[in-house]
Amino acid sequence: MKKLFWKAFAGLMLVSLLCGSAQAQTRIGTVDLRTVFDKYWKRQQADAAIKAHVADLRKQFDSMYNDYKKSADEYQKVLDSANDQAVSEGERDRRKKEAEAKLKDLKTTKDSLDEYNRQSRATVDEQLNRMRASILKEIQAVVKAKAEAGGYSIVLDSAAVSANQTPILLYVNNPQNDLTEAVLQQLNATAPPGFTNSPSSSMSGTGN
């Protein structure tokens, strides 16, 4: 899912800031958006929260699935007993009707499982999208402030890639124009105690 996110943001110009007069010299800066996003403490905090939610969803799904398996086993037993020639025809008919009723309930339970799985994935995807939008907004605000303070007219994402998975930014003449560390330091200035500033693993769906 993380890969899909970076594809969606491939070619992103993080901030385009036009400042000064038309005659002023254009100063271009860069930010490695991938690094900033991965190492921002709020992203890692949100990552952990979403993973905990996914674990809860998975636990609930497993419980529902176990109940479904038990019902399936019970249905099979009743169905087998409906073919038992040792009992009367009337008893076999009764068991067949019981098996049909259990099969109907089994299908209903299966539909509930499928719907729970769909809703779980949709919920996690929505959480991920909200988190990303919120964090990108915060990053952009800091980049804008740094750019304005440093006199940059444009700030490009040095981590962006094209649709062909090739780098968009091929050459930077002045590495000093890279604002990645400055942006990251400001974002992580409010990090809670124990923050390690190391990127956490990628997030995924419920895995159901």
Domains of the chain: which residue ranges?
Answer: 2-190
Section 157-185 average pLDDT: 89
For the full predicted model, state whether its pTM sits above 0.75: no
Q: How far apart are CA 43 and CA 93, in angstroms?
A: 61
Look at residues 125, 134, 168 and name the one whose alpha carbon lies nearest to residue 12: 168
pLDDT tens sequence across 28-74: 999 999 999 999 999 999 999 999 999 999 999 999 999 999 999 99
CB distance 168 to 27 below 8 Å: no
CB distance 69 to 110 below 8 Å: no
- Cα dihedral 47/50/56/61 (nearest 10): -110
pLDDT of residue 205 exceeding 80, the answer is no
Q: How far apart are CA 7 and CA 1, in angstroms?
A: 10
Q: How far apart are CA 40 and CA 198, in angstroms?
A: 9
Q: Rounded mean pLDDT of the chain?
A: 83
Section 105-126 average pLDDT: 94
Least confident of 32-36, 81-85, 101-105, 156-160: 81-85
pLDDT value at position 197? 65
